[in-house]
Amino acid sequence: MSAKLIDGKAFAANVRAQVATHVTRLKEVNDLIPGLAVVLVGEDPASEVYVRNKGKQTLEVGMNSYEHKLPADTSEADLLALIAALNADPAVHGILVQLPLPGHLNSDLVINAIDPAKDVDGFHISNVGLLGTGQKAMVPCTPLGCLMMLRDHHGSLSGLNAVVVGRSNIVGKPMAQLLLADSCTVTIAHSRTKDLAAVCRGADILVAAVGRPEMIPGDWVKPGATVIDVGINRIERDGKKKLVGDVEFASAVEVAGAITPVPGGVGPMTIACLLANTLTACCRAHGLPEPEGLTA
């Protein structure tokens, strides 16, 4: 048996199209244009690519994009002053500070300086707490994208056994909270988990977010399970550069019921959900109804 492929590229295009429709209506009916500010400190090449893609896709859905590129030696005081200005700017509905920051900057301090209502990454401690207590939060983009794809595939997730491999603040922990809120029985597994293979084999939903290339082989996958592979790992094989996930795709696709490929699975959903979050933040800021199907 070969699993159904969950096409994240097509799914993300659909999310962006929905966002664009809402943005058009906001302009026509409310005279409002959602705005996203992205702050990049330093010249990390991978971050520069992300930021360029974010800016391009923000404009494509009709939103305003504000890019702030700061030198690598920017002081914490200067960065905090920029965040304070963006917090106060009514044209800015979402603020994203690209991570990782250079080592001399305290990421927690910087992220927690963002107005939680504009924290479209969902990293501010207020949003983490709101999500953990089942209140209305801004939700981290990658887990939100995974949740959207899971809901689309399964309908209800209620009662399913979900195993999240990885305990990062950006993916693993918020993913577990979202699955719990959708009434899954959730296990968070990690590098110290005993008999990880057996834990994974109990999963109806297996989310891999560890950042280790092809760590999870097909024989750890329960037949018929849904596998969401968050990993994006660059490797070299047979002299060729390749992108692979945290799951060994070739063996897992033979066992799973559905699986996200790498590339073209979860990856494209992150920016699409960032745009959805910016739209949501704009609607909330103006007391307007939230876009249906684009929030947790």
SS3 67: strand
CB of 77 to ligand GUN, least distance (A): 20
Given the residues 119, 121, 182, 229, select the one marked as catalytic.
121
Partners of 4 in the β-ladder: 258
Task: Verify binding: residue 96, ligand GUN, rule CB under 6 A.
Answer: yes
CB of 270 to ligand GUN, least distance (A): 6
Helix (H) or strand (E) holding 21: helix 8-30
Q: Which of 98, 177, 226, 280 binds ligand GUN (CB under 6 A)?
A: 98
CB of 228 to ligand GUN, least distance (A): 16
Q: Is 54 a catalytic residue?
A: yes
Q: Which stretch binds ligand GUN (CB under 6 A): 95-103, 128-136, 250-258, 261-269?
A: 95-103
| CB closer to ligand GUN out of 99 and 243 | 99
> First vs last Cα of the chain: how many Å apart?
32
CB contact set of 192 (below 8 Å; sequence gap of 6+): none
CB contact set of 151 (below 8 Å; sequence gap of 6+): 157, 182
Residue nearest to ligand GUN (CB): 99
Site for ligand GUN in 218-237 (CB under 6 A): none
Q: Which of 99, 180, 243, 285 binds ligand GUN (CB under 6 A)?
A: 99
Q: Is 121 a catalytic residue?
A: yes
Q: Is 135 a catalytic residue?
A: no
Give how far Cα 282 sits from Cα of 5, 92, 138, 246, 294, Å: 33, 9, 12, 35, 13
Given the residues 18, 57, 98, 177, select the one marked as catalytic.
98
Task: Verify binding: residue 215, ligand GUN, rule CB under 6 A.
Answer: no
Q: Other C-beta atoms within 10 Å of 145: how many?
A: 29
The interface mask with ligand GUN, positions 131-150, x = CB under 6 A, is ----------x---------
How many angstroms from the chain centroid is the CA of residue 107?
Answer: 18
Site for ligand GUN in 252-291 (CB under 6 A): 270
What are the two backbone dihedrals, phi and then psi, of residue 9, each rounded to the nearest 5 degrees? -65, -50
**Region of 134 on the Ramachandran plot (φ > 0 left; ψ -120 to 50 alpha; else beta):** left
Contact set with ligand GUN (CB under 6 A): 96-99, 121, 141, 270
Q: Active-site residues: which are they?
A: 54, 98, 121
